[in-house]
A = this chain, B = another copy of it.
Amino acid sequence: MKKAIVLLSGGLDSATCAAIARAKGYVLYAMSFSYGQRHRVELECAQRIALLLSVEKHSVVDINLRNFGGSALTDEIAVPKNRSISRHTESEVPATYVPARNTIFLSFALAWAEVIEARDIFIGVNAVDYSGYPDCRPEYIQAYETMANLGTKAGIAGGKISIHTPLINLTKAEIIRKGVALGLDYSQTHSCYDPSPEGRACGACDSCLIRKRGFGAAGIEDPTLYAEK
């Protein structure tokens, strides 16, 4: 049985990514981060998803990106609402971008992979219906994998480390259909950047808009609990 590290945020994408890794027969080692995010409810979702997917171990790493600031997800910067989400270009990185977030997350995953002798890391990045983040693009992931193989004991010993991105070329609707086919319960996932104190989704941030549109396009009922307006 091959081991895989799966980065699990508690969102729709990472849950689907983990379900795909499990369907491929990997024993899952799930890793989540408490990084000072506003939407900490996602960590509770990560725990529920980890249970549903019978992971071997779930590690929640505590790092404080609030020390650095610079993002609407960790700072007192307003989360943008109800804007058009089809007009992103590469030069337009949104306020919800967290500096070097995926680079930090993948680096901890890499450390854990070395220790448990896993050679496979799964991350649910997506370059289609994404929010304009530079660290969700295939060229970035490819460069990360190259670096990881040069900078680790495992890599130089010839045990190639692979960064798997099964969602990278899927639309949100395709991701949702895939997860439903694998039996994933999306009511247990959380996408909203700016939830209510009770953990309900705002329905208006980029992440909510993309999620809603995805369920619509997939023709699948959206199980998300939205906050009353």
The reply to whether A151 and B102 form a contact with Cβ atoms under 8 Å apart is: yes
Q: If A62-B64, A135-B151, A151-B143 touch, does A110 touch B99 (CB 8 Å cutoff)?
A: yes
Contact pattern, A 126-138, Cβ under 8 Å of B = 1, otherwise 0 = 0000000011010
Cβ-defined partner of A147 (8 Å) among B91, B97, B99, B144:
B144
> Is A115 touching B70 in the complex (CB atoms < 8 A)?
yes
Q: A91-B157, A134-B150 are in contact. Are A111 and B68 (CB under 8 A)?
A: yes
Q: Which residues on B sit within 8 Å (CB–CB) of A153?
A: 93, 97, 99, 134
A54 within 8 A of B: no
A101: chain B residues at CB < 8 Å are: 111
Q: How many residues of A contact B (CB 8 A)?
A: 45
Q: Is the CB of B143 within 8 A of A150?
A: yes
Q: Check if A76 is an interface residue, CB within 8 A of chain B.
A: no
In angstroms, Cα B114 to Cα A65, docked, is 12
- Are the CB atoms of B144 and A112 closer together than 8 Å? no
A100 at the B interface (CB under 8 A):
yes
List the B residue with the shortest CB-CB distance to A71. B115
Among B64, B111, B137, B156, which residue has its beta carbon within 8 angstroms of that of A104?
Answer: B111
Tell whether A148 is near chain B: CB-to-CB under 8 Å.
Answer: yes
In the complex the two chains form, is A150's CB within 8 Å of B157's CB? no
Pair A107/B103 contact, Cβ less than 8 Å: yes
Q: Is A171 an interface residue (CB 8 A)?
A: no
26 chain-A/chain-B pairs, Cβ below 8 angstroms: A61-B63, A61-B64, A65-B111, A68-B112, A70-B114, A93-B153, A98-B111, A99-B110, A99-B112, A99-B152, A99-B153, A100-B107, A100-B110, A102-B151, A103-B110, A103-B147, A104-B107, A104-B108, A134-B150, A134-B155, A134-B156, A140-B150, A140-B151, A143-B143, A143-B147, A144-B147
9 nearest A-B residue pairs (beta carbon)? A99-B114, A70-B115, A100-B111, A143-B147, A135-B151, A140-B150, A99-B111, A140-B151, A100-B110
